[in-house]
Amino acid sequence: MSAALRATVLSRGFTSRAVDGFVGAVGNTPLIHLKKLSEKTGCTILGKAEFQNPGGSVKDRAALGVVQDAEKRGLLKPGGTVVEGTAGNTGIGLAHVCRSKGYKCVIFMPNTQSQEKIDLLRMLGAEVYPVPAVAYENPKNYNHQAREFAEQLPNAIWTDQFDNTANAQAHYVSTGPEIWEQTQGKLDGFTCATGTGGTLAGVGRYLKEKSGGRTQIWLADPPGSVLYSYITSGGKLNERAGSSITEGIGQGRITNNLGTFVNDISGALHIPDEKSIEMIYDLLDTEGLYLGASSALNVVAAVELAQKLGRGSTVATVLCDGAYRYQSRLFSKAWLKTKGLYDAIPEHLKKYAVL
Ligand code: PMP
Tell me: the pLDDT tens digits for 126-181?
Answer: 999 999 988 888 999 999 999 999 999 999 999 999 999 999 999 999 999 999 99
Q: Which residue's CA lies nearest to atom 11 of ligand 1?
A: 195
Do 218 and 305 fall into the same domain? yes
Cβ-contact 189, 305 below 8 angstroms: yes
Do 45 and 128 fall into the same domain? no
Identify which of 52, 58, 163, 318 to mutate to test ligand 1's pocket (most ligand atoms within 8 A of the CB).
Answer: 58
Do 28 and 169 fall into the same domain? yes
Identify which of 50, 51, 59, 162 to mutate to test ligand 1's pocket (most ligand atoms within 8 A of the CB).
Answer: 59
Q: Is 335 exposed, middle or buried (0-12, 13-18, 19+ CB in 10 A)?
A: middle
Do 142 and 195 fall into the same domain? no
**What are the pLDDT digits (tens) for 90-99?**
999 999 999 9
Residue 224's nearest CA partner among 180, 270, 155 is 270
Task: Please identify, among 154, 185, 200, the residue that sits at the C-terminal boundary of a domain.
Answer: 154
Q: Is 310 left (phi over 0), alpha (psi -120 to 50) or beta?
A: left
Distance CA 337, CA 354 (A): 13
Asked if pLDDT for residue 316 goes beyond 70, the answer is yes
* Residue ranges making up the domain that contains 114: 78-154
Beta-strand ranges (E) seen in the chain are 31-33, 44-49, 81-85, 104-110, 127-131, 156-158, 189-192, 216-221, 267-270, 314-319
User: Looking at 36, 48, 59, 186, which residue is catalytic?
Assistant: 59
Residue 350 designated active-site:
no
What's the CA-to-centroid distance between 89 and ligand 1, angstroms? 7
- Is 13 part of any domain? no
- Is 1 part of any domain? no
- Is 330 part of any domain? yes
- Contact partners, residue 29, CB within 8 Å, separation at least 6: 48, 49, 50, 52, 53, 178
- Is 159 part of any domain? no
- Average per-residue pLDDT for the chain: 94
What's the CA-to-centroid distance between 247 and ligand 1, angstroms? 8
- Is 188 part of any domain? yes
Residue 203's nearest CA partner among 50, 25, 9, 22 is 50
- Is 97 part of any domain? yes
Please give the helix or strand (H or E) that residue 175 lies within, else none: none
Torsions phi, psi of 337, nearest 5?
A: -65, -40
Do 140 and 177 fall into the same domain? no
Residue 201's nearest CA partner among 162, 178, 172 is 172
Cβ-contact 92, 324 below 8 angstroms: no
Do 124 and 266 fall into the same domain? no
pLDDT category at 11 given cuts 50, 70, 90 is very low
Q: Could you give the angle at which helices 59-72 and 89-101 cross, rounded to 10 degrees?
A: 50
pTM of the model: 0.95
Q: In the structure, which protein residues have their CB atom closer than 6 angstroms to any atom of ligand 1? A: 57-59, 88-89, 193-199, 248-249, 292, 294, 320-321
Do 133 and 253 fall into the same domain? no
Do 187 and 291 fall into the same domain? yes
Number of structural domains (the chain) is 2
Do 124 and 250 fall into the same domain? no
Do 84 and 232 fall into the same domain? no
**How much is the ipTM here?**
0.99
**What are the pLDDT digits (tens) for 303-315?**
999 999 999 999 9
Do 225 and 89 fall into the same domain? no
Task: Please identify, among 132, 154, 176, the residue that sits at the C-terminal boundary of a domain.
Answer: 154
pLDDT mean over 9-29: 79
Q: Which residue's CA lies nearest to atom 5 of ligand 1?
A: 248
- Is 71 part of any domain? no
What's the CA-to-centroid distance between 320 and ligand 1, angstroms? 7
What's the CA-to-centroid distance between 259 and ligand 1, angstroms? 16
Do 205 and 276 fall into the same domain? yes
Tell me if residue 107 falls in helix, strand or coil.
strand
- Is 6 part of any domain? no
Task: Please identify, among 135, 154, 173, the residue that sits at the C-terminal boundary of a domain.
Answer: 154
Task: Assign residue 111 the CATH number of its domain.
Answer: 3.40.50.1100
**What are the pLDDT digits (tens) for 242-278?**
899 999 999 999 999 999 999 999 999 999 999 999 9
What's the CA-to-centroid distance between 249 and ligand 1, angstroms? 6
